[in-house]
Structure 1
Amino acid sequence: MDFKKIENIFLLAFVFLNVYLLVSYINRAGMQYANSPAEQINIIREMRDMGIQIPGNLSDEKQNIYYMQANSNNLIQDNVNSLENQAGSVTSDGTLYTSILSEPIEIEGDPSEGVTDEQLSKLSAFVNSSAILFGDQYEFLRYDNEGNRFIFSQVVGDTPVGDGTSEISFYYGRSDGEIISYQQTYAGPMQQQGDSVEVISAKEAVEFLFQSNELRSNTVISTPILTYQRTLALEDLSIYGPVWLIPITESSESRVLRVNAKDRTIVSDPTESNDAIPEPIIDSGDEPDEEEDTESDQS
């Protein structure tokens, strides 16, 4: 028996096996690399190559957050008569209060060019006064350029409600720099449901929008805001889940995109499916109609 020949055969087989294992390892490493932070950096670089402006403070930190439950209530309708220095009305379902102020709030500067600390200080003081129901539960969320309104949202824990179901909108008059009206919704007290869940980071939400072809060239992205949005509405209760709210500007037109922070899906604008709400009060110089039904009298 030619042992030398057999030895060479085993040696060649061993070499081929090692080559096969090496190639397999390189392929697996390449697949892992494709999902590594390096690829994420490439996504950001590709966005910048398209002229998309990304916030410098875009966080890649993940958070844990609870789903929340709000029970149906009539808290606005039950307490509206306590408000002073305004005339207002409540919708038939008791969820939306529209107010006309007897003393307009004067705002200096144009908020569309950037909300100032002075503007926020004046509005925050009003929100926390006796002129607003449950005002201590609301904080400033953002300025809506398209609707010319300052938006304050109910904050649950550290997370604002960003879908319009629990917010105060102050309508800004560009012609005179005054706020003569506001609208308020209030979801009411909320309770945690189940265990907390891990949500995607702000950076992952922005990257998902880009990969889903939701962002065009030269889009300007503002800082994403982790919010609550109503995901289930029943007769007796509503469930709120985590949604990334991402304001963007395209060709001087502002809008907001939303990403489900748990399931990583595009979320539609809640106003597209909600029932119509009254138009904001526009300052025309006319006094409110004395015959109009009101839930709180002007004092």
Structure 2
Amino acid sequence: MDFKRIEVIFLIVFFSLDVFLFLSFRNSQQLVSSSSTNTSTVSEMKKRNISFGSLDSKNGYAYYLGSQPDDSLAENSNKLTGQKVEYDESDHSLTSGLEDPISITSTNRETVMNKFIKKESNVLFGKSYKYAPQLSTKTRMVYIYSGTLGDIYDKTAQLTFTISDNEVVGYTQTYVRSLIILHERQVIKSEKEVITSLYANSEIPNNSKISYANLAYTKLLVAKGSTIYIPVWFVTIKNKDSKVNTTKKVNAFTGNIIKSSTNGDSDYSAQ
């Protein structure tokens, strides 16, 4: 299928998407923010023992993005060595079991695995991924797709290593070969707007810490076989008493709090 035809398909999908977005956002929870409100809210957060670093008040830009199913992993799986590989055509995912598990520690695992993924015989397209500590746990290391248009926090473009007894024993991988811009860029909410508004809407408890605030794309829906992505702020909050982390998601375009994952997944909360 040539690029022009793909582009036409995504344009059709996008226009049909407009109706869906209008109906969804009209009924969603809207964050309220202003410059003066943000300033006073920051002071109030500090008084309530909520810790955070410097909050960026600059508004950036983002897009609606689209992608089509891709079998690049299956087509290149013969390049992998030292592992048993299986490919699932239904979700275009590759599963690998390493013949020689990789020994790691809690302090060196990122360095070790960053080096491992750079070699194509170990991981296909490994240079397209970067480590995401906020999505990782003691038993798994998550790498997300990172391209020129931004990062993707979604199972459709993710590399997840499985850890057992301080050894990496295998991984699962999905991949997006190319992303298509479906609409001209739009202004997005700033980090400061999002975090102060989350607090104003009782989404950030007292005595907590903002561990991460990441802007990334995630799957909104699949239409006519094509995946539509929107920009979302992922804000990870750690309770200082319980040490439990939770992740709040905010639509970067509208500022609406996403009460549940846009793609139906429930494991995008850091542990």
Bucket of the pairwise TM-score, normalised by the shorter protein: 0.7 to 0.9
How far residue 153 of structure 1 moved from its aligned partner, in angstroms, is 0.9
- Of residues 205, 208, 213 in structure 2, which corresponds to 1:224? 213
SS of 2:231's equivalent in the other structure is: strand
d(CA) in 2 for partners of 1:189 and 1:214?
35
Where do residues 242-257 of structure 1 align in structure 2 (5 Å cutoff)? 242-250=231-239, 251-257=242-248
Corresponding position of 1:293? none
Indicate conservation of the 8 Å contact 2:212/2:236, yes or no. Answer: yes
1:62 paired to 2:59: yes
The percent identity for this pair of structures is: 25
For 1:122, the equivalent position in structure 2 comes to 112
Q: Secondary structure at the match of 1:217?
A: coil
Q: Partner of 1:26 in structure 2?
A: none
| Paired position in structure 1 for 2:187 | 198
* Alpha-carbon separation, structure 1, partners of 2:233 and 2:64: 14
Q: 1:172 aligns with which of 152, 163, 171?
A: 163
- Would the alpha carbon gap of residues 129 and 213 (structure 1) be closer, same or farther in structure 2, given more than 3 Å must change? same
The alignment status of 1:76 with 2:65, answered yes or no, reads no
Q: Within 5 Å, which residues of 2 pair with 1:1-299?
A: 37-54=35-52, 56-108=53-105, 110=106, 118-130=108-120, 131-144=122-135, 146=137, 148-157=139-148, 159-173=150-164, 176-250=165-239, 251-270=242-261, 273-274=264-265
Mapped contact 2:38–2:192 kept (Cα < 8 A): no
Q: Distance in 2 between matches of 1:271 and 1:192?
A: 19
Query: Quick check: 2:134–2:236 contact (8 Å CA) kept in 1?
Result: no
Contact 1:245 1:259 in 2 (8 A): yes
Q: Distance in 1 between matches of 2:211 and 2:191?
A: 11
TM-score where L is the length of structure 1: 0.70
Q: Which amino acid aligns with 2:117?
A: V
C-alpha separation between the residues in 1 aligned to 2:42 and 2:210? 12
| Aligned match of 2:8 | none
Question: Is the CA contact 2:94–2:173 (under 8 Å) kept in the aligned structure 1?
Answer: yes
Structure 1, gaps ≥5 residues long = 1-34, 111-115, 277-299
Q: Is the 8 A contact 1:76 1:94 kept in 2?
A: no
- RMSD in angstroms over aligned alpha carbons? 2.5
2:98 counterpart letter in structure 1: L
How much does 1:85 deviate?
A: 0.9
Runs of 4+ in structure 1 over 6 Å off = none
How far off is 1:248 after superposition?
1.7
Separation in 2 of the partners of 1:179 and 1:155? Answer: 22
3-state SS of 2:247 partner? strand
Provide the rounded CA distance (Å) in 2 between the counterparts of 1:91 and 1:127.
21
Q: How many residues align?
A: 233
